[in-house]
Structure 1
Amino acid sequence: MTTTRPLRADALRNRDRLLAAAEEAFATEGPEASLNEIAKRAGVGPGTLYRHFPTRQALQTAVLKDRIERLCARAEALSGSRAPAEALAEWARVFLVHARTSQGMGGALFLEELEETAGLGVDCHAMIEEAAAAVLGRAQRAGAARSDLSPADFLQLVTGIALTTARDADTGQAERLLGLVLDAVQG
C-alpha cells in the first residue's frame, strides 16, 4: 500500500506559485499558454512544473479546481457576512467573473472528453450549484429573491451573460445585463 506524503513547505510554495502563474497565463493567453513560460513566471524550472503537473491537462485541472473552491468559499463567506440580497448580488458578480475567465480553460478540458468532472476528483458543477443554492436559498427565505427561481436557473442566467459577453474587453455590458437579471430575481 502506498501513501502520499504531504508536500514539503518549499514544494508547496512552488506548487502555489505555479498555480498562480498558470491561472494568470491561461486567463491572458488561453488554455494553450506556454508551460515553459508558466514555469518561468513562477520562478521555477520546467522539471519542477512537470513534477507537480505531469501534463497540461493536469495543470489546467488544478487551476480550475482551485478557482471553483475559491468561488464556493466566497459564497459561504458572503452568506455569513452580508444581508441576503447583498450576498446574492455580490456572489453573482463573483460567479460572472469566474464564468467569463474560466470559459476557455473549462472548454479545453471538456473538449478532451475527460473522465467524470474533468478528472478533478470532485463534481465541480454540483459544488457550484450547492454554493448557489445556499446563497439563493437564504435570499429567498428573506423575501429578497423570487421563490420560483432554482439554483440551476440562476446559474444558467449568469452563465448566459458570461458567454454572450466573453469577447467584450469592457465588462460594462456584462454588469448591465447582470443588473437586469438581479432586478428580475428580486421581482
Structure 2
Amino acid sequence: MHPTNRLETAPPARPLRADAARNREALLAAASAEFAAHGADASVADIARRAGIGKGTVFRHFPTKEHLLGAIVLDRLVTISELGEDLLGAGDAGRALLEFLTAACERVQQLDLSFLLAASPAVLAEPAVSAAQERMFGVVGALVARAQEQGAVRADVTGPDVILLMCAPSHAASPLQDSDPGLWRRYLGVLFDGLRPEGAHPLPHPPPAAPVP
C-alpha cells in the first residue's frame, strides 16, 4: 500500500498553527455531528459546511473520509480510557465502575461510541485505533476486577461482558430519546443491579471470548 493511503489517525507530529488547530477542532466536531446523524454515509461537503471551512481544508487534514472517521474513533476511545484510568484509584471500586458506565452511556447517548459501529474494518485495524481499543478493554477489565475484589460485582461477570453491555441502556431507551432523553439512566440502574452479587442467579450461557466480533 502506498504510504499516503495508510490511515494515520494519531495527532500530528508537529504542533499545528493556532488557526490550523482551530480548523481541525471545528472539523472533528462537525464530522462527529454528521457521522452521528448519517453514519458512514455522511458527506465531506456537509461536514465542511457545518465546520465553516472548505472541502479542500478537510482533505488537507484528512486525505479520505476514513481517515477522518478514524481520528474521531481514536479520540473517543482515548477519552473514555483516560476516564477509566482516573477511576482505577478510587477507594470505592463499585462506585467507580458505575461512574465509568454512566460516563460511557452519556457518550453513547450522544452517539459518540456509535462510531465504532460505523467504522470500516480498515479503520478499526489501523494500529493507533487498535491500540486504543485494547487500552479501553484493559481499563474496563481492571475496573471490573477491582469491583469484584471488593464484593461489589458478581464473580461470574467478565470485562468483555461489561464492554458489550456499555451501549445497552442507551439502545434500550433510543425509541423514546426525543421525548425522554434521560430514560437511559433508568436502564443503566437495571443493568448495574444485574451486576451486583446480591440475589444473583447462575448465568445460563458462558461469557464471550472477546469483547467485540
Whether the TM-score (by the shorter chain) exceeds 0.5 is: yes
1:79 alignment partner in structure 2: 88
State yes or no: 1:180 paired with 2:187: no
Task: Indicate conservation of the 8 Å contact 1:61/1:118, yes or no.
Answer: no
User: Cα distance, 1:79 vs. partner?
Assistant: 3.0
**CA distance in structure 1 between the aligned counterparts of 2:125 and 2:55, rounded to whole angstroms:** 24
Task: Indicate conservation of the 8 Å contact 2:77/2:133, yes or no.
Answer: no
Tell me which amino acid in the other structure corresponds to 2:187.
L
Aligned positions, number: 181
State yes or no: 1:106 paired with 2:113: no
Tell me which amino acid in the other structure corresponds to 1:147.
A
1:33 alignment partner in structure 2: 42
Change over 3 Å in CA distance of 1:5–1:86 after alignment to 2: closer
Q: Aligned match of 1:121 in 118, 128, 145?
A: 128
2:4 alignment partner in structure 1: none
2:101 alignment partner in structure 1: 92
CA root-mean-square deviation: 2.6
Tell me which amino acid in the other structure corresponds to 1:152.
P
Task: Indicate conservation of the 8 Å contact 1:22/1:38, yes or no.
Answer: yes
Runs of 4+ in 1 over 6 A off after TM superposition: none
1:6-17 aligned at under 5 Å gives the runs 6-10=14-18, 11-17=20-26
**CA distance in structure 2 between the aligned counterparts of 1:29 and 1:162, rounded to whole angstroms:** 18
Which structure 1 residue ranges, 5 or more long, are not aligned? none
* Structure 2 residue matching 1:30: 3-state secondary structure: helix
Tell me which amino acid in the other structure corresponds to 1:141.
E
2:140 alignment partner in structure 1: 132
1:158 alignment partner in structure 2: 166
Greater mean alpha carbon deviation, residues 128-137 or residues 39-48: 39-48
2:52 alignment partner in structure 1: 43
Greater mean alpha carbon deviation, residues 78-87 or residues 18-27: 78-87
Q: Percent identity?
A: 31
